[in-house]
Amino acid sequence: MGAPLPRDPIADAQRNWEERGWSDVAAPMAAITAIMRTQQILLARIESILKPFGLTFARYELLALLSFARSGALPMNKASALLQVHPTSVTNAVDRLERAGLVARSPHPTDGRTTLIELTAEGRTVAKRATAVLNSEVFGQSGFDPADVDQLIRILGSFRRNAGDFTG
């Protein structure tokens, strides 16, 4: 977006917090703000990698999820739950993926309320290729030290559990 700043703006914010007498919450504020910014950076990287495939991260996540489903199909509400996004976001993603010919909607055999999303052959191919590039270009060059990756998984996993994402 722009040239690197001469100073870390989040560290500056943390100092500002401390100077105002909010030392007790300055560090968590900095950590949370850093998570926000890191997500933004990672998302931009991922989207730039997926752009040639005509995918966004939201659509890729859905494709990837379907590719791991035994039957290659999932009910919309299941996808919504597993991806932890609002049902309308799934509707949106499926609309676009369907128009691109990567997934297809089909009625649930026994529950008339439910719609199944199924990968098409092309969808499976695109998912595979996109994953390969993502693995080599993003996940394989995450910029995180291996030990730090473990720390992140542990810390954020604990946070997500406490936030009510899962119970396991």
Q: Which of residues 3-62 bind DNA (CB under 7 A)?
A: 40, 44, 56, 58-59
- Which of DNA, its own copies, none is residue 28 near (CB under 5 to 8 Å by kind)? its own copies
DSSP 52: G
Q: Is 85 in the site for DNA (CB under 7 A)?
A: yes
Q: Is 133 in the site for its own copies (CB under 8 A)?
A: no
Nearer of residues 106 and 128 to its own copies, judged by Cβ? 128
Q: Is 112 in the site for its own copies (CB under 8 A)?
A: no
Q: Hey, how many other C-beta atoms are within 10 angstroms of the C-beta on 150?
A: 11
Q: Which stretch binds its own copies (CB under 8 A): 22-30, 47-55, 99-107, 119-127?
A: 22-30
Q: Give the Cα separation of 91 and 85 in Å (integer).
A: 11
CB 13 within 8 A of CB 29: yes
CB-neighbour burial class of residue 73 (10 A; exposed 0-12, middle 13-18, buried 19+): middle
- Which of its own copies, DNA, none is residue 5 near (CB under 5 to 8 Å by kind)? its own copies
Question: Applying CB under 7 A, which of residues 8, 12, 19, 111 lies at the interface with DNA?
Answer: 111
Structure tokens at 59: 């659509």
Element (H, E) at 63: helix 57-68
Q: Is 122 in the site for DNA (CB under 7 A)?
A: no
Q: Is 11 in the site for its own copies (CB under 8 A)?
A: yes
Place of tokens 């609309």: 95
**In whole angstroms, how far apart are CA 42 and each of 45, 51, 85, 109, 117?**
5, 14, 18, 39, 27
Nearer of residues 91 and 151 to DNA, judged by Cβ? 91
- Which of DNA, its own copies, none is residue 27 near (CB under 5 to 8 Å by kind)? its own copies
Chain contacts with DNA (rule: CB under 7 A): 1, 40, 44, 56, 58-59, 75-77, 80, 85-96, 105, 108, 110-115
